[in-house]
Amino acid sequence: MTAVEQVRSGGLGIYDLHGRNAVVVGGSSGIGAATAVRLAEVGATVAVGYRSGRERAEKVVESLPGEGHFTVPIDILDTAVLTAAAEQLASVFGRVDVLINSGGTTVRIPHDDLDALDDTTFDQILAANVRGPFATVRALRSLLEASGDGVVVNVSSISGFTGSGSNVAYCASKAGLDSLSRSLGRALGPTIRFVSIAPAAVDTDFVPGRDREAVAAQAASTPLKVLADPDDVAVSILGVVTHLRLTTGSLVVTDGGKWL
């Protein structure tokens, strides 16, 4: 039963993840790993996707409550690998109810240093942060449609609408990812809904060369003054999946008020 059909039959209620299958791209560390834990805690069976961190992904799987969790190689820049991942997921799961796109990349480059942001770096960032999530959805589309009520959460950033972040290309890529959520939310409803979630800086090693003090200083400048860790974002993602049942194509901001 689709979300729309559930509304017409008397309401959606809370999305119960028992018996549901979830795929977390970039699930071997950071926000992805924390999200895998949260999904498993509420009953989902989780496939932890990884590109090169197989051992980290296996440790995440070992830490998950419940049974049936496994790792799957997912390189969002390699269509052949994505196709193989889709085949594995089809064999094990049969359908995908939840997809979390938390993979991506960036580097620190001052916004006014245009020469340092060369063509290769620019293209790599856009490919990983925009084309990669799109290619993942394309590869898993039939599995998400088989759910009848699938949800995709794209991990974005307030950089996509503030224009402030690790570099100009990163900001542009997150704006593109948010547009992707809107476009696909419109195109693939009602069987699949799409939501972008936009944190500010999170206490991870995602940005090479950025130390914890810099993240803490940014957090201290926000109205809520909260130093966000990966689980803070994971809880918000879980809320999108389980409670924001009539939300699609939207951007959910979880930044402590940084954008204000």
The CATH number that applies at residue 154 is: 3.40.50.720
Give a yes or no: residue 4 inside a domain: no
In terms of residue numbers, what domain contains 28? Answer: 17-254
133: CB partners within 8 A, 6+ apart: 25, 76, 101, 103, 154, 177, 180
Containing 152, the helix (H) or strand (E) segment is strand 150-155
Give a yes or no: residue 2 inside a domain: no
What is the C-alpha separation between 117 and 20, in angstroms, rounded? 42
Total tally of structural domains belonging to the chain:
1
Give a yes or no: residue 240 inside a domain: yes
Give a yes or no: residue 47 inside a domain: yes
Place of tokens 């959910």: 252
Catalytic residue among 170, 176, 206, 254: 170
Dig out the tokens for 232 from the structure. 């803070």
Give a yes or no: residue 6 inside a domain: no
Question: What does each of the 260 residues of the chain score in pLDDT, given as a tens digit?
Answer: 555 455 444 455 668 899 999 999 999 999 999 999 999 999 999 999 999 999 999 999 999 999 999 999 999 999 999 999 999 999 999 999 999 999 999 999 999 999 999 999 999 999 999 999 999 999 999 999 999 999 999 999 999 999 998 999 999 999 999 999 999 999 999 999 999 999 887 665 655 655 667 667 776 777 777 777 889 899 999 999 999 999 999 999 987 777 77
Give a yes or no: residue 8 inside a domain: no
Instruction: Check if 170 is active-site.
Output: yes
What is the C-alpha separation between 238 and 9, in angstroms, rounded? 24
What is the C-alpha separation between 9 and 5, in angstroms, rounded? 6
Give a yes or no: residue 221 inside a domain: yes
Place of tokens 């130093």: 227
Predicted TM-score (pTM) of this structure = 0.90
Containing 70, the helix (H) or strand (E) segment is strand 70-73
Whether the CA torsion 232, 237, 242, 248 is positive or negative: it is positive
Give a yes or no: residue 7 inside a domain: no
